[in-house]
Amino acid sequence: MRAFLEDDQTYRRVTKDLTSMYQSQNNSIVKRIQDLKLLDPFAASKLKTYIAVCPKIYDKPKAHKPGLPLRPVVPCMNAPSYELSKFVSTIVKTSLTSKYSIKGSFSFCNYVNSLELPQGYVLVSIDVVALFTSIPKNLVKQTIFRHWNELKQNTPICLDLFWEVTEFCIDSSYFVDQLLKGQFYQQIFGTAMGNPLSPIIAEYVMEDLLENALASTPIVINNLKKYVDDLFLALPEGNIQEVLDSFNQQNEHIQFTVEREENNRLPFLDMMLVRLDNQTVKTEWFKKPIASACKQHKNIGSLLPLVKDKTPLEERSNVVYQINCEDCDACYVGMTTQKLKARISKHKSNMKKLQTLQQAGHTTRDAVIVDIMETTAVVNHAAREKHTFKLDETKILDTTNKARNLPILESCHINNTPNTINKRTDTDNLHVAYAGFLHWLRNKQQRARGRNE
């Protein structure tokens, strides 16, 4: 990983977490689009975020290739520009008409099984070397501008603003590598593997690149098919290198490698293509060498179970959490759509206010104490019982990607957690249909606790 990130043409070290900066820029861009009446308030609210988290890079080994080369992956689901990138990718994807793309193995199988090759032609696959991190931004810009007539049919945004949004989504690729003591990086070249905009941008760029490559080679190629960055072709055996050179001359950054058939057989996707004596092609299901080996030996997942770094608890949002009382067995179950650290900070602030008032001699009969007791059940319990809570030991009970699910999840946990100080009205949203399941779950948890004791 260290050697990989020392590629200073692709990555640049930065001294701090850029989440706050990119989050602010993202929301500012969305507001501008909304102010221009190009987005309704509901759509704009979905594109803004206030709970973004810095993405964490991990490398996925290509276990079936010699030397175990790595594929860098940066999951961006909680990144500042994730929803905006999805918004742009939908516009681009809707506008793209591909001549060469196939949807998957079954559609390719139907195509290749009806193929009859000219005499002297053999099967070839061509692969792009690290496509996402090899696409220059200026090439993306040229592609967007060249295809604007198609793109503008699917968006009211003007070309200059659309490119500004696209450029921001590309430039806001950053991450932390927790394996290297939390070092932060920006990606300064190419697009990130994990950004929802990257696949469709790569698709568009590849379409133009293939058009240019086919136009510059003297050989007529009528059977090119593409799946992401894997190309299938049938070529005259003596012209394979010439075609490869033509592809590699299109852009210095996007380079291709070739794999020729051996003994009339060529692996492609999850199939083995077999060229028969009559120049037709049949298919057989194919397993990469690592697939059968993993059944008998330890696989990557068992050897490296923590390849993906977990988001720290305090950085997580849309969670149901529990805070235990330090002086009795009571606890509080709450929920928050904010980052957990922001919610705990609010609890601490309320507790500090209470302690200040108590030290000034106020009691629960005074209006100022009564007012603050109404804020949360935590403060209410602390004021009445003169107890404190283990706020720094807050634990997460549940999490969800959909904020609308939180009230039900919270109600379920309040219902099933012993000695909660929550108000009974906190479970009003819980439908009676949940009762049977929660009773079964509660008994199961009690049995588990009994075994542990």
Separation of alpha carbons 48 and 119, rounded Å: 58
pLDDT higher than 70, residue 225? yes
Angle between the 137-146 and 159-171 helix axes, to the nearest 10 degrees? 150
**pLDDT band at residue 302 under the 50/70/90 scheme:** low
Provide the CB-side half-sphere exposure for 18 (13 A, CA): 23
Separation of alpha carbons 394 and 390, rounded Å: 7
**pLDDT band at residue 329 under the 50/70/90 scheme:** very high
Residue 61 or residue 327, greater confidence: 327
Asked whether 348 and 329 are in contact (CB, 8 A), the reply is no
Provide CB contacts within 8 A for 102, sequence distance 6+.
108, 111, 225, 226, 227
CA 106 from chain center: how many Å? 26
**pLDDT band at residue 31 under the 50/70/90 scheme:** very high
pLDDT of residue 428: 64
Residue 423 or residue 64, greater confidence: 423
Lowest mean pLDDT among 67-81, 343-357, 422-436: 422-436
Looking at residues 293-318, what average pLDDT do you find? 64
Q: For 36-67, where are the alpha helices, taking DSSP H only?
A: 41-47
Lowest mean pLDDT among 172-181, 222-231, 343-352: 172-181
Looking at residues 434-440, what average pLDDT do you find? 74
pLDDT of residue 172: 95
Q: Is the dihedral of CA 206, 207, 212, 213 positive or negative?
A: positive
pTM above 0.85, yes or no: no
Closest by CA position to 235, among listed 212, 269, 258, 208? 258
Looking at residues 332-344, what average pLDDT do you find? 91
Separation of alpha carbons 343 and 351, rounded Å: 13
Q: Is the dihedral of CA 241, 242, 244, 245 positive or negative?
A: positive
Provide CB contacts within 8 A for 162, sequence distance 6+.
88, 91, 144, 151, 155
pLDDT higher than 50, residue 21? yes
**pLDDT band at residue 22 under the 50/70/90 scheme:** very high
Q: What are the Cα distances from residue 280, in Å, to 113, 172, 261?
A: 8, 48, 14
CA 391 from chain center: how many Å? 31
DSSP H helix total and E strand total for the chain: 17, 15
pLDDT of residue 299: 56
pLDDT of residue 415: 83
Lowest mean pLDDT among 107-121, 171-185, 316-330: 171-185
Asked whether 325 and 387 are in contact (CB, 8 A), the reply is yes
pLDDT of residue 29: 97
pLDDT higher than 70, residue 294? no
Q: What is the pLDDT of residues 165-209, one digit of tens each?
A: 999 999 999 999 877 678 999 999 998 888 999 999 999 999 999
Q: Are β-strands 174-177 and 395-399 bridged in parallel, bridged antiparallel, or unpaired?
A: unpaired
Rounded to the nearest integer, the mean pLDDT of the chain is 87
pLDDT of residue 232: 95
Place of tokens 């007529």: 220
Looking at residues 13-32, what average pLDDT do you find? 96
Q: What is the pLDDT of residues 392-408, one digit of tens each?
A: 999 998 888 888 888 88
pLDDT higher than 70, residue 51? yes
**pLDDT band at residue 263 under the 50/70/90 scheme:** very high
Closest by CA position to 168, among listed 46, 85, 78? 85
pLDDT of residue 293: 47
pLDDT of residue 92: 95
Paired residues of 123 in beta bridges? 234
Lowest mean pLDDT among 60-69, 117-126, 327-336, 415-424: 60-69
Looking at residues 108-122, what average pLDDT do you find? 90
As a whole-number percent, the residues of the chain with pLDDT over 90 amount to: 56
Q: What are the Cα distances from residue 383, in Å, to 97, 350, 359?
A: 66, 11, 12
